């Protein structure tokens, strides 16, 4: 039997301002790992400490899958990528370089000889840290055949364990894809000993068919995504393997029974506009009748429910969740599972708190301007800000700016209720722009002003952490 591996590239491809949040990326990795994908791919580091923290956190929650980190175009980037995933159970370093003349010029501004030398240097550097090194030849199907063969021979000699051929333009038909691989295998003798993968653009809706043909020609790894990312959908590959896999002597590790739910969860995550209910809600009681925690419950009881919700947190994060839980529980008769889920999302897996809220007092009315009196703590020193504003939220944000001595552009601000009723818990999202980059923060409270202040401080702490 031949084992076919699925390498999920959802997290590698999702980026930009509409990208998944820190917590969502961690949760997505956990879902993919439970689903049984063989490899989870992460993008190259771009945002300094924030990206490193993200990779290290993901590494701590992925148990079975390989965790692949893309490297940049310098040898220094190889070491940085390694440091971010070295704690994973099965870390991989992924070197990606263009192989076609058009992409070599466009992406790297280099000629073929320079690309060849760069590829050897990056793979050799990656091999210094780990034997699990993958090389992807971008736009391989439009490369000069002799140069592509030379490039693959060079990276295999430098220590690459896996090689991926990319049809970045999506120009291949199934028979052409199979012929391409077979011809290349004749020119590159060592290709048969490597884990040969294929990454296919689905612009012509032929990627799944080409992937099946590539497997027949010798490929053992297929790059896929549950979300619509322009590559073969994991669902389509699963359908093919279920229908034809046994007759072709193929086996795979995907858990088909979990695929539909996982697909719904991840597709909801990557939507820019998330209308309707979250598919995550199906596992969390909305009414609060199944789980009714109170302020009297000890940390062990709260942690037990947190684990039932699917979270496996560190002792430090459990302590943060319990502290936030106590703050909410002091104002409510009961805390439901859905509310606790929101508390975890807000309190756990955050960057260290440079600023901490001590007290806040907000006054407003129809006969006076809104006033905010806030006290924050940083490095054991308490600082107070008092400001008037155009409404309580504006006053609170201005008071924070008075304390920190800096104004950040407020790129986005949203509020929503987590639960209903007179004791409803509110959730706030704040996005601040600093040096051209967006930093998002989430906050929860039984009042929208408190949630908004906590969201602003959450975003502020991320700025301080990354720009320190």
Evaluate if residue 238 carries a pLDDT over 60.
yes
pLDDT digits (tens, 9 = 90+) for 240-262: 888 888 898 998 888 877 787 77
Residue-range definition of the domain harbouring residue 318: 286-347
pLDDT digits (tens, 9 = 90+) for 101-130: 988 887 788 899 999 999 999 999 999 999
Split into its structural domains, the chain has a count of 3
Confidence band, pLDDT 50/70/90 cuts, at residue 424: low
Nearest in space to 354 (alpha carbons), one of 411, 400, 314? 400
- Shared-domain flag, residues 366 and 226: no
- The last residue of one of the domains, among 241, 269, 297, is 269
- Shared-domain flag, residues 36 and 157: yes
Please report whether residue 278 resides in a domain. Answer: no
- Shared-domain flag, residues 193 and 248: yes
Evaluate if residue 186 carries a pLDDT over 60.
yes
Q: Are 208 and 170 in contact (CB under 8 A)?
A: no
- Shared-domain flag, residues 242 and 328: no
Confidence band, pLDDT 50/70/90 cuts, at residue 17: very low
- Shared-domain flag, residues 34 and 118: yes
CATH number at residue 19: 3.20.20.70
- Shared-domain flag, residues 51 and 169: yes
- Shared-domain flag, residues 316 and 417: no
- Shared-domain flag, residues 392 and 245: no
- Shared-domain flag, residues 181 and 151: yes
Angle at 343 between CA 337 and CA 348, to 5 degrees: 125
- The last residue of one of the domains, among 347, 379, 394, is 347
- Shared-domain flag, residues 31 and 150: yes
Please report whether residue 118 resides in a domain. Answer: yes
**pTM of this structure:** 0.63
Please report whether residue 277 resides in a domain. Answer: no
Please report whether residue 275 resides in a domain. Answer: no
pLDDT of residue 423: 52
In percent, the amount of the chain with pLDDT more than 90 equals 45
pLDDT digits (tens, 9 = 90+) for 351-398: 677 899 999 999 988 777 889 999 999 999 999 999 998 889 999 999
For tokens 């884990």, name the residue: 195
- Shared-domain flag, residues 290 and 381: no
- Shared-domain flag, residues 226 and 329: no
């Amino acid at each position: 039997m031949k084992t076919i591996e699925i390498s999920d590239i959802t997290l590698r491809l999702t980026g930009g301002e509409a990208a998944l949040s820190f917590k969502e990326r961690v949760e997505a990795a956990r879902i993919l790992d439970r689903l049984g994908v063989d490899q989870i791919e992460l993008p190259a580091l771009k945002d300094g400490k924030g990206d490193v923290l993200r990779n290290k956190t993901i590494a701590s929650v992925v148990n079975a899958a390989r965790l692949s980190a893309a490297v940049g175009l310098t040898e220094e980037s190889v070491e940085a990528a390694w440091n971010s995933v070295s704690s994973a159970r099965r870390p991989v370093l992924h070197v990606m370089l263009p192989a076609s003349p058009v992409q070599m010029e466009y992406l790297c501004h280099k000629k073929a000889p320079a690309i060849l030398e760069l590829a050897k240097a990056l793979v050799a550097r990656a091999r210094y840290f780990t034997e699990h090194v993958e090389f992807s030849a971008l736009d391989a199907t439009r490369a000069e055949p002799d140069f592509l063969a030379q490039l693959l021979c060079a990276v295999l000699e430098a220590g690459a364990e896996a090689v991926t051929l990319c049809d970045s333009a999506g120009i291949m038909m199934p028979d052409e894809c199979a012929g391409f691989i077979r011809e290349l295998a004749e020119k590159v003798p060592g290709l048969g000993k490597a884990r040969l993968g294929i990454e296919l653009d689905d612009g012509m809706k032929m990627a799944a068919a080409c992937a099946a043909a590539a497997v027949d020609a010798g490929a053992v790894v297929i790059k896929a995504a549950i979300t619509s990312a322009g590559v073969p959908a994991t669902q389509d590959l699963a359908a093919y393997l279920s229908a034809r896999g046994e007759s072709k002597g193929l086996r795979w590790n995907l858990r088909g029974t979990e695929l539909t739910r996982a697909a719904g969860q991840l597709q909801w995550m990557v939507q820019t506009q998330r209308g309707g209910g979250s598919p995550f809600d199906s596992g969390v009681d909305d009414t609060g009748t199944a789980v009714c925690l109170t302020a009297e419950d000890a940390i062990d009881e709260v942690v037990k429910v947190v684990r039932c919700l699917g979270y496996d947190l560190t002792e430090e994060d459990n302590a943060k969740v319990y502290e936030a839980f106590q703050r909410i529980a002091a104002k409510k008769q009961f805390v439901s599972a859905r509310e606790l889920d929101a508390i975890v999302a807000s309190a756990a897996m955050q960057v260290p708190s440079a600023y901490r809220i001590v007290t806040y007092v907000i006054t407003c009315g129809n006969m006076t301007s809104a006033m905010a009196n806030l006290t924050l703590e940083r490095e054991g020193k308490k600082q107070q800000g008092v400001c008037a504003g155009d409404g309580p939220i504006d006053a609170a944000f201005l008071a924070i700016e008075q304390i920190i001595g800096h104004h950040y552009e407020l790129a986005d601000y949203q509020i929503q209720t987590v639960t209903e009723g007179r004791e409803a818990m509110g959730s706030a999202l704040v996005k601040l722009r600093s040096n051209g980059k967006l930093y998002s923060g989430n906050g929860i409270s039984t009042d929208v002003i408190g949630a908004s202040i906590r969201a602003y401080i959450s975003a502020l702490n991320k700025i301080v952490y990354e720009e320190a």
